[in-house]
Amino acid sequence: MSDAIAVEGAHKRYGEKRALDGLDLRVRRGAVHGVLGPNGAGKTTAVRILSTLLRPDGGRVEVAGFDVRDEAAEVRRRIGLLGQHAAVDEELGGRQNLEMFGRLHHLGARRSGTRADELLERFGLAGTGRKPVKRYSGGMRRRLDLAACLITDPEVLFLDEPTTGLDPRGRTEVWSAVRSLAAGGTTILLTTQYLEEADQLADRISLVDGGRVVAEGTADRLKDRVGGDRIDVVVRDAGRLGEAARLLGDQVSVDEDRRLLGAPAPDRMGTLSRAVRALEEAGIEAEDIAVRRPTLDEVFLALTGTAPRAHTTTGAGVAA
Amino acid sequence: MRTSTAAGPGRIGWALADSWTMTRRELAHWARQPVQPAVALVFPVMLLLMFNYLVGGGRGVDGDNTAFLVPGMLALTMAFGLEGTMLAVTQDLTKGVIDRFRSMPMASGAVLVGRSAADMLQSVAALAVMTGVGHALGWRWHHGPEAAVAAFGLLLLLRFAMLWIGIHLAMVAGRPEMVQAVQILVWPVGFLSNVFASPESMPGRLGAVVEWNPMSATATAVRDLFGNPGGTGGSWAAEHAGLLAVLWPLALVAVFFPLAVGRFARLSR
Ligand SMILES: Nc1ncnc2c1ncn2[C@@H]1O[C@H](COP(=O)(O)OP(=O)(O)OP(=O)(O)O)[C@@H](O)[C@H]1O
Ligand SMILES: [Mg+2]
């Protein structure tokens, strides 16, 4: 049987800007695939092409064995789309929305109604009544949006930054929904800017930048190559930065302006206490010291040897 | 395992079902936000009252101004419905829900057909209200109910044509700001008609433009059907106003309906 998603050399240009520049993706049926990349990497463009909203300029793009250009109707029958922005009718209530989408999936009036109630129940929205969606909280809206993708149990589900802008509770809710869908055999492609999210949910991860895949592999393999968590040390005396860096090992990044050192922390607390001790013995004073997850920049640095072209931290990229 | 034909009512049947679902969506919007449709009903009534009392009604016609003005205002209301349609479509297209519609296996024109069905319903309501107000002002029809029904049919046909022009322009213009430009242009086109004045009272070339204006054709045909005074100038266009009032809208729909549906299907692809 063919793969659920097969993309070869997909191209998309907006004027001079190459949003996709030879993107390759292969997702087997039933898998959860993470597309990890900074702002402007081309994640949304890829998802919009896969869900038939946008035509690729070139390359082969197939979903569930159907070409997104020539067999868009077949693709649409088999997919669910959770776009980067909510795709529900803001004026209507939650049930009204789901019932409408059920009818448009040709479930008929009665089954549309029962399906709407089932989904509202499942996503904890049963008590929202007639309230229009524009008065929902961000998390509620995201859950309704997700429910709308699941009216007909799609074969392939696209989730574009499903948790961006949600609070930790909303994020956990979306994560557990994704997990239960994956357990049910749905193929899922999700985009994210967070390594942790891709790591938590995805079997395989494609790292994208500049409209192409720059690294690909299982979450575990990529994490091994990135080297797990990181330790940050802010040194009080800028003059002793070099000396401190040598104490922390041989893969240390140095930010002189902020007097900040960063290093891999493979065994978290062990690394932390060794660093504290080494600095103390050398008489180097640390203003701040902490263990944290690697940032997307560090993932890029570790896997590709360069920072991402479309930058995540400064304002150089496109606002989310 | 390529199953490409859906079981059930077939393509046309599903297209109609989808269109009905989208019509219901528009009606649900009205039910939740009744102010906007209410204003759309009040505005033409206000214009009618203004022209009847303040401006003094039709010019260049002997006799009853109100009898000349009311059918013209009905035609004008139908034609200016274009603005409301455009605004609604441009606003709708900026909404995220359109992406969901476009990623679903529904008939691609259904969103637009739903819009047009809702606007037609709104226009029926507008005609009813204006007819009532006209009646209160002393306007009457004289050729019986069948002729009156035919007249309302012609008015709604004009509205239907303007509606698809509006939908198409909305997608070409894209942004709500652009609608304002069209709104400004609609007014001179509206006044270059025989709604307020008979073409005989205008200089020759202008009079010809006015007579060939689709809105003039409808206004003249409707005046004839209602038995209200009109400027029968004896020109070909005026003599055959009834024919033109049918052909003009049909021709416009034949052009703009496929353009609009095609454009929606290709939207930002
Ligand atoms: N409609 C458009 N017109 C012009 N350029 C566009 C358009 N849409 C996207 N781009 C450009 O294409 C590139 C890829 O954009 P895309 O939205 O796919 O990135 P992304 O990875 O989804 O970013 P984000 O994390 O900000 O959502 C960006 O440089 C963006 O500026
Ligand atoms: Mg995006």
Which pLDDT score is estimated for B66?
Answer: 87
Lowest mean pLDDT among A52-66, B24-38, B134-148, B204-218: B204-218
| Amino acid occupying residue B186 | V
Which pLDDT score is estimated for B116?
Answer: 94
Residue A116 at interface with chain B, using a CB cutoff of 8 Å = no
Q: What chain A residue is nearest to B22 in terms of C-alpha separation?
A: A100
Residue A320 has pLDDT above 50, yes or no: no
What are the pLDDT digits (tens) for B107-131?
A: 888 999 999 999 999 999 999 999 9
Helix (H, G, I), strand (E, B) or coil at A217: strand
Which residue owns the Cα nearest ligand 1 atom 26? A39
Q: What is the mean pLDDT of residues A216-231?
A: 80
Distance, C-alpha A50 to centroid of its chain: 16
Which pLDDT score is estimated for A167?
Answer: 86
CA dist., res. A247 & res. A271, Å (int): 12
DSSP letter at A295 equals P
What are the pLDDT digits (tens) for A263-296?
A: 888 888 898 999 999 999 999 999 999 988 777 7
Q: Are B109 and B15 in contact (CB under 8 A)?
A: yes
Of all helices (H) and strands (E), which one includes residue A51? none
Q: What chain B residue is nearest to A131 in terms of C-alpha separation?
A: B32
Point out the residue among A76, A85, A92 whose CB comes nearest to the CB of B103.
Answer: A76
CA dist., res. A309 & res. A42, Å (int): 12
Which pLDDT score is estimated for A49?
Answer: 97
Which pLDDT score is estimated for B58?
Answer: 53
| Amino acid occupying residue A36 | L
Q: Which of residues 87-106 of A touch B (CB under 8 A)?
A: 87-92, 96, 100-101, 103-106
Residues constituting chain A: 320
Say what the alpha-carbon torsion angle B28, B29, B33, B34 is, to the nearest 10 degrees: -60
CA dist., res. B117 & res. B123, Å (int): 10
Which pLDDT score is estimated for B4?
Answer: 42
Residue A50 has pLDDT above 90, yes or no: yes
Q: What is the mean pLDDT of residues B35-52?
A: 90
Strand-pair partners of A230: A264, A292
Q: In the numeric block, which tokens belong to residue B169?
A: 């322009």
**C-alpha dist (Å) from residue A161 to A39, A190, B233:** 11, 7, 67
Residues 6+ apart with CB under 8 A from A274: none
CA dist., res. A286 & res. A39, Å (int): 33
Residue B232 has pLDDT above 70, yes or no: no
Which pLDDT score is estimated for B5?
Answer: 45
Residue B3 has pLDDT above 70, yes or no: no
Phi/psi of residue B138, nearest 5 degrees: 105, 5
- N-to-C CA span, chain A: 37
Q: What is the mean pLDDT of residues B224-230?
A: 87
Banded pLDDT at B63 (limits 50, 70, 90): low
Which residue owns the Cα nearest ligand 1 atom 29? A40
**A168-183 and A138-149 helices, crossing angle to 10°:** 10
Residue span(s) of chain A under CATH 3.30.70.100 come to 229-292
Which residue owns the Cα nearest ligand 1 atom 2? A14
Q: What is the mean pLDDT of residues A212-233?
A: 83
Cα A37 to ligand 1 centroid, rounded to whole Å: 12
Average pLDDT, chain B: 86
Residue A66 has pLDDT above 90, yes or no: yes
Which pLDDT score is estimated for A319?
Answer: 33
Tell me which ligand sits closest to the C-alpha of residue A317: 1
Phi/psi of residue A260, nearest 5 degrees: -110, 130
> Residue with structure tokens 């020539």?
A70
Q: Are B134 and B70 in contact (CB under 8 A)?
A: yes
Strand-pair partners of A234: A260, A288
Banded pLDDT at B181 (limits 50, 70, 90): confident
CB contact under 8 A, B96 and A96: no
Lowest mean pLDDT among A14-18, A298-302, B221-225: A298-302
Please say whether the structural domain A229-292 has been given the CATH code 3.30.70.100: yes
CB contact under 8 A, B14 and A106: yes
Residue B2 lies in a domain: no
Number of domains in chain B: 1
Which pLDDT score is estimated for B12?
Answer: 87
Lowest mean pLDDT among A89-98, B174-183, B213-222: B174-183
Chains A, B: CB contacts under 8 A, how many? 76
Structurally, what CATH architecture does the domain formed by A5-224 represent?
A: 3-Layer(aba) Sandwich (3.40)
Q: What chain B residue is nearest to A77 in terms of C-alpha separation?
A: B105
Percent of chain A whose pLDDT exceeds 90: 63
**B35-49 and B65-93 helices, crossing angle to 10°:** 150
Banded pLDDT at A131 (limits 50, 70, 90): very high
Residue B24 lies in a domain: yes
Cα A74 to ligand 1 centroid, rounded to whole Å: 26
Residue span(s) of chain A under CATH 3.40.50.300 come to 5-224
What are the pLDDT digits (tens) for A97-130?
A: 999 999 999 999 999 999 999 999 998 899 887 8
Q: Which of A13, A23, A44 to mutate to test the pocket of ligand 1 (most atoms within 8 A of CB)?
A: A44
Q: What is the mean pLDDT of residues A166-194?
A: 91
Q: Are A229 and A292 in contact (CB under 8 A)?
A: yes
C-beta of A16 in contact with ligand 1 (< 6 A): no
Point out the residue among B33, B97, B268 whose CB comes nearest to the CB of A87.
Answer: B97
What are the pLDDT digits (tens) for A16-33?
A: 999 999 999 999 999 999
Q: How many CB atoms lie within 10 A of CB A117?
A: 14
Q: What is the mean pLDDT of residues B9-15?
A: 85
Q: In the numeric block, which tokens belong to residue A299?
A: 């993932």
CB contact under 8 A, B21 and A83: no
| Amino acid occupying residue A242 | G
> Residue with structure tokens 């059930």?
B8
More confident residue, A311 or A6: A6
Residue B68 has pLDDT above 60, yes or no: yes
C-beta of A85 in contact with ligand 1 (< 6 A): no
How close, in Å, is residue A69 to chain B by CA atoms? 10
Banded pLDDT at B265 (limits 50, 70, 90): confident
User: Which of A55, A91, A96, A144 is most worth mutating to test chain B (most B CB atoms within 10 A of its CB)?
Assistant: A91
Q: What is the mean pLDDT of residues B224-253?
A: 84
Residue B93 lies in a domain: yes
Strand-pair partners of A91: none
- N-to-C CA span, chain B: 28
Residue A148 at interface with chain B, using a CB cutoff of 8 Å = yes
What is the span of the domain harbouring residue B261? 9-266
| Three-state SS letters, chain B | CCCCCCCCCHHHHHHHHHHHHHHHHHHHHHHHCCHHHHHHHHHHHHHHHHHHHHHCCCECCCCCHHHHHHHHHHHHHHHHHHHHHHHHHHHHHCCCHHHHHHCCCCCCCHHHHHHHHHHHHHHHHHHHHHHHHHHHCCCCCCCHHHHHHHHHHHHHHHHHHHHHHHHHHHHHHCCHHHHHHHHHHHHHHHHCCCCCECHHHCCHHHHHHHHHCHHHHHHHHHHHHHCCCCCCCCCHHHHCHHHHHHHHHHHHHHHHHHHHHHHHHHCCC
Distance, C-alpha B35 to centroid of its chain: 20
Which pLDDT score is estimated for B198?
Answer: 76
Of all helices (H) and strands (E), which one includes residue A38? none
Residues 6+ apart with CB under 8 A from B204: none
Which pLDDT score is estimated for A318?
Answer: 35
C-beta of A318 in contact with ligand 1 (< 6 A): yes
CA dist., res. B108 & res. B266, Å (int): 10
